[in-house]
Amino acid sequence: MASWFRRNKPDAEPKLRISIEELAAAFPNAPAAVPVEPAVEAPAEPIAPTQVVETPAVTAAVVMEETQVVEPVETISEPTPETAHVDEIPVEPAAPPSAPAPVSGWRERLRSSGFARSLGGLFSRNPKLDDELLDEIETALLTADVGVTASTQLVESLRKQMKAREFADAHALLRALRADLIAMLAPVAKPLEIDRGKRPFVILTVGVNGVGKTTTIGKLAHRYKHEGRSLMLAAGDTFRAAAVAQLQAWGQRNGVAVIAQGQDADPASVAFDAMQAATSRGVEVLIADTAGRLHTQHGLMAELGKIRRVIGKLDASAPHEVLMVIDGTTGQNAISQVRQFNAAVNVTGLVVTKLDGTAKGGVVFALAREFGIPIRYAGIGEGPEDLRVFDAEAFVDALLPESLTG
């Protein structure tokens, strides 16, 4: 016992060493009192190092755990943009599937038009073949905004065939009327072809107020972008409030650059800057927006001529397409609009919008009969994919189905 105490004496403090010797000399028969103090110190000494050893192990584990948690957070945040691109990718093949079967889409969107309701209701009751039926057909065509000239031409053709006894029943007359309607639209159903030899291919959009020019440009950008074309937009509508911001929003949505100078800027200057930028960057298509104006405002109509001349200074053949946007609900007023704009800037293509709403649809036949200007696109809905390449047969089938029960 005494030897064990001596070995542990150096570990004790100096004051404790003196007190232990004095106690051992004074009380040699009290061994139990002495081991109590070292017994308390002995466990205290091993505990301290074990705590020190465990503490770094725990902190190391914590650091490793924190690092492992951060890494998945980074790996989770990185695929997010890729997921966004994946969400956009299905939109690209969504347009081609609609092309093989456009008829069903057209019919679903145009079945509520005035043309479809009037003529569809007329033939659904299986009428008799007589002059009264022809008069009713003519009235239905006129009320559907087909126009006097086109309606008269259609009805007289049917009258001659009926007198020649070429119709066995009303169903045969319906087929003949459908064929005449398709024949009237077929010459103007010409898609817009982008000439790859002209960079940039400049499309100048014109039209009166509120027909949907800016929205049409956004939908065209969506279409051309998914076709793999490089394009640029020019915010030339510097008159209407928020028109520039609206076009910039379409540009951001489709990943297309927009050249703008702000509100109240000179539209011709915007078009010139956009033409220079598109040429220097080798852009394939440049679509220029213009402010809406009434066809009776001669000063604003002359401004369109200025824009055309400014663009022509950089490319004598530009603009390569003057695309006029027409509201399908305006009816016969569209005839005078096209006439004035065509005189000012030589319109080369038409876009008829809002055909899915309250439009009667007959104005398309009137435009084809009056001007013969190609109808490039038709708007039959609000989505970007609802700006369809104009199809004469699909359009007629939507307005006047082949079946008498429509």
DSSP string, 150-207: HHHHHHHHHHHHHHTT--SSHHHHHHHHHHHHHHHHGGG-------TTSSSEEEEEE-
Question: 149-208 pLDDT, tens per residue?
Answer: 899 999 999 999 998 888 888 888 989 999 999 999 999 999 999 998 999 999 999 999
* Whole-number Å distance between alpha carbons of 19 and 321: 111
Instruction: Find the DSSP H helices in 282-383.
Output: 298-314, 333-345, 363-370
Confidence of residue 24 (pLDDT cuts 50, 70, 90): low
Lowest average pLDDT, out of 95-109, 125-139, 170-184, goes to 95-109
pTM: 0.71
* Whole-number Å distance between alpha carbons of 94 and 68: 40
Question: 329-361 pLDDT, tens per residue?
Answer: 888 889 999 998 998 889 999 999 988 866 678
* Whole-number Å distance between alpha carbons of 191 and 349: 9
**Amino acid, res. 370:** E
Q: For residue 195, what are its two tokens?
A: 């000439």
Which of 348, 47, 373, 45 shows the shortest CA–CA distance to 189?
Answer: 373
> How long a stretch of residues is the chain?
406
Question: Average pLDDT of 356-371?
Answer: 84
pLDDT at 235 over 90: yes
* Whole-number Å distance between alpha carbons of 151 and 140: 9
* Whole-number Å distance between alpha carbons of 341 and 334: 11
